[in-house]
Amino acid sequence: MNYKVKGTYDLLPEEAIKWEYVTNKLKEIFKKYNYKEIRTPIMEYSEVFHREGEFSDMVQKETYNFVDKGNRNITLRPEATAGIMRSVIENKSYAQNDILKYYYIGPNYRYERPQKGRFREFYQFGIEAIGLKSPYVDAEVIMLASDIITEFGLDGVLIKLNSLGDNESRLRYQKVLEEYFNSHKTGLCNDCQVRLDNNPLRILDCKIDGPKDIVKNAPKSIDYLTDNSKLHFEKVLKVLDENKINYEIDHNLVRGIDYYSETVFEIHAHIKDFGNANTLGGGGAYDNLSIDLGGPELTGIGFSFGMERFIEALEVSGVMPNMEYILDAYIITFDESFNQFASHVLKELRDANITSEMDYDTKSVKSKMKKAIKLNPKYLIFIGEDEVKNNLVSVKDTETQEQQQMKLEELLKLLGGK
């Protein structure tokens, strides 16, 4: 017997319908903000993710890498932003408008320890706004993330915010952090001692050292911002205040990928019985990613949510609607010789956008009825000798138990076909 790959899952119909609901509602929200869908390959040349200066755990430890038959280094995408920026550069999309607004929904791959709500193949949905550096764009992106939480009915939205500043600000801050953590090096885990040499910002979101006082008491990035970055962040906060967005400043928030700069944020929701971590999504701005990928100077900002965790949050909170597949009509024939006529009826129903099914089994009508009851159709359609002879169908309303013969045209009208 074969089994699914560790860290993956089968999305069965009773779960898939929930994903369909969430996806459709997300697309409605994105449309309001004038975001358009983009789809990029799930595999890219490895240098798209394994860029010089990228020391995040995601890239260093968790990517799925392989050499293809053409001896090319390929990586399954661990996140969407880098591939989208690659696409923008390659297709010269930046020449079309001063700001590109994209949304995406799709799978990603990371080799990490599978656990509740965390898989090696996982789906993310999110957005990217590329091409215009503006505090008002930053604020709009954050408000869109907040709207997703509220429009799905989740309570207690809280945005956690920080600013890493521009390149000059980051260099200032990294130098101060390096000096600070060097004086506390013995208190750091082995990974963070390596991060100290590569990128000390990574220490701030370490799962091991993060809760320690030496990290909590570390210098704050906001104290080392340039005047431009400080003004940029102040304007973001003013827009959020104006629109009554609930937020708090988290000085240790740096996010998990090294390309972030300026505004970074996480989206939290108060969800009872959901565990300690109520973070549903997060993101931030990036000024250097395009240049790192060989493109022009292009700024961007975006966020992503984990689909699996988001749907789990909806279910735990009790705001996921009761989703089920609705079957309008189920055709039962009294003999195989009537199947040809029944197939014509079935096609007419489907052409009228009526969800329909037919029992092709040659077993007894009693057996067919048992199957029909499990499928719970709105109407049962019986076809026997009399129906075929007179070009009729016998229709039974499964709720009222009323049954009558009628012409096909009347059936289509009854079931509300187009």
3-state secondary structure of 202: helix
Kindly tell me the burial class for residue 227, based on how many C-beta atoms sit within 10 Å of its own C-beta (0-12, 13-18, 19 or more).
Answer: exposed
> Which residues, including other chains, have CB under 8 Å from residue 6's CB and lie 6 or more apart?
114, 120
The Cα–Cα gap between 227 and 233 comes to: 10
Mean pLDDT computed over 161-189: 89
The residue that leads in pLDDT, 385 or 212, is 385
pLDDT value of position 256: 64
Q: Is the pLDDT of residue 130 over 90?
A: yes
Q: Are 192 and 203 in contact (CB under 8 A)?
A: yes
Q: What is the token pair recorded at 199?
A: 């990128």
CATH hierarchy code of domain 13-154+255-317: 3.30.930.10
pLDDT value of position 97: 85
Closest CA to 171 of 214, 217, 221, 216: 221
The 10s digit of each residue's pLDDT in 359-413 is 898 888 889 899 988 999 999 999 999 999 999 999 999 999 999 999 999 999 9
* Range(s) within the chain of domains with CATH label 3.30.930.10: 13-154+255-317
Mean pLDDT computed over 110-122: 87
pLDDT value of position 148: 95
* Range(s) within the chain of domains with CATH label 3.40.50.800: 329-414
When pLDDT is cut at 50, 70 and 90, the band that residue 110 belongs to is: very high
- Class of CATH domain 329-414: alpha beta
pLDDT value of position 54: 67
Kindly tell me the burial class for residue 76, based on how many C-beta atoms sit within 10 Å of its own C-beta (0-12, 13-18, 19 or more).
Answer: buried
Q: Is the pLDDT of residue 314 over 70?
A: yes
When pLDDT is cut at 50, 70 and 90, the band that residue 96 belongs to is: confident
6-15, 193-202, 402-411: the lowest-pLDDT one: 193-202
pLDDT value of position 76: 97
Q: Is the pLDDT of residue 276 over 60?
A: no
pLDDT value of position 405: 95
Q: In the predicted model, what is the mean pLDDT of the chain?
A: 91
